[in-house]
């Protein structure tokens, strides 16, 4: 009996975790360049396809126990959580400090208190010292940063212009180039919040210096499809409800069995 509960409880925990992922996606629907997360649930699809025509299970029947016994050794669980790096849409802001990358595997490099990180959020600012930064105040690194540790500095009366290769200009004078890299293995990147990604090693990054890489005055939107996420949300809630009914039915069976044994003992 306990094993049956383990199976159903594990399935419910899996769906609650999936619900967290979907909710986080929806919360970041309007976050610039946000990339949606998804999960892979081990063995659940096969079990659900086999029993879906019998759902929802009726209370006070043996069908709930049948379902749990069939799945006890195959407790559904999240075997992988991953990020989908498909590009979102592009919106015109007209702001010279906004930049949209044109490749889904391309990233800006920024310096944070925790070290160098990657981001695809090209909504930048200029701080009081004239340094080009993210909205959080992290310096946006130039392509020469590892040679001279110098940031991109914009003159107070400057007119910022960035070409498609990432070259940064004050009118016609080049100030440097944005450090734009390609991740050779995006699956190895770790999300850290604030649209930042931690990479394992610079060996996994390839610097991109030329080509059609970035557009000034535009921002990439998130790649989240709200309709798809809402469908997933409804599906997950229904599955949670199904497992609750299974547990209730199983508990009723246990109570009935206990009462029967108690009555026969007294008799």
pLDDT one-digit tens code per residue, 22-67: 999 999 999 999 999 999 877 654 555 555 555 555 555 555 555 5
Q: What's the pLDDT at 77?
A: 73
Query: Which of 57-61, 203-207, 229-233, 255-259 shows the lowest per-residue confidence on average (mean pLDDT)?
Result: 57-61
Average pLDDT for the chain: 85
8 A C-beta contact, residue 244 and residue 133: no
pLDDT score of 69 more than 80: no
Task: Decide: residue 226, CB within 10 A, 0-12 exposed, 13-18 middle, 19+ buried.
Answer: exposed
Check residues 79 and 233 and name the one with the higher pLDDT. Answer: 233
pTM over 0.85: no
Q: What is the pLDDT of residue 241?
A: 87
Cβ within 8 Å of residue 16, ≥6 positions away: 240
Percent of the chain with pLDDT over 90: 59
Residue in the structure block whose two tokens are 């290769």: 165
The reported pLDDT for the residue numbered 263 is 67
Return the exposure string of 184-222: e unless at least 16 CB atoms fall within 10 Å of the residue's CB, then b: eebeebeeeeebbbebeeeeebeebeeeebbbbebbbbb
Which tens digits make up the pLDDT trace of 161-211? 999 999 999 988 999 999 999 999 898 999 998 999 999 988 899 999 888
The secondary element (H helix, E strand) that includes residue 219 is strand 218-220
Whether omega for the bond prior to residue 63 falls within 30 degrees of 0, making it cis, is no
pLDDT tens-digit profile of 135-146?
A: 999 999 999 999
Given a cut of 90, whether residue 79 has pLDDT beyond it is: no
pLDDT above 70 as % of the chain = 81
Check pLDDT > 70 for residue 133. yes
């Amino acid at each position: 009996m306990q094993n049956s509960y383990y199976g159903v409880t594990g399935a419910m925990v899996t769906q609650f975790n999936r619900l967290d992922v979907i909710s986080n996606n929806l919360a970041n629907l309007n976050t610039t360049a946000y990339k949606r997360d998804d999960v892979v649930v081990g063995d659940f699809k096969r079990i659900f396809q086999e029993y879906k025509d019998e759902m929802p299970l009726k209370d006070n029947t043996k069908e709930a126990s049948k379902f749990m016994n069939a799945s006890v050794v195959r407790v559904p669980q999240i075997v992988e959580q991953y990020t989908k790096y498909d590009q979102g849409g592009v919106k015109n802001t007209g702001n010279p400090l906004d930049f949209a990358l044109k490749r889904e595997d391309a990233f800006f490099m920024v310096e944070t208190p925790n070290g160098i990180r990657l981001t695809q959020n090209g909504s930048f600012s200029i701080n009081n010292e004239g340094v080009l930064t993210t909205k959080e105040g992290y310096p946006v690194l130039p392509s020469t940063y590892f040679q001279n540790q110098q940031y991109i500095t914009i003159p107070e009366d400057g007119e910022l212009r960035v070409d498609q290769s990432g070259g940064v200009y004050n009118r016609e004078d080049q100030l440097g180039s944005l450090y734009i890299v390609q991740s050779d293995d995006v699956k190895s990147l770790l999300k850290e919040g604030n649209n930042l990604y931690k990479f394992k090693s610079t060996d996994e990054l390839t610097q991109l210096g030329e080509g059609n890489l970035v557009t000034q005055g535009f921002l990439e939107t998130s790649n989240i499809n709200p309709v798809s996420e809402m469908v997933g949300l409804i599906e997950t809630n229904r599955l949670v409800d199904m497992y609750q009914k299974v547990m209730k039915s199983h508990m009723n069976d246990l109570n009935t069995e206990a009462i029967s044994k108690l009555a026969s003992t007294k008799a």
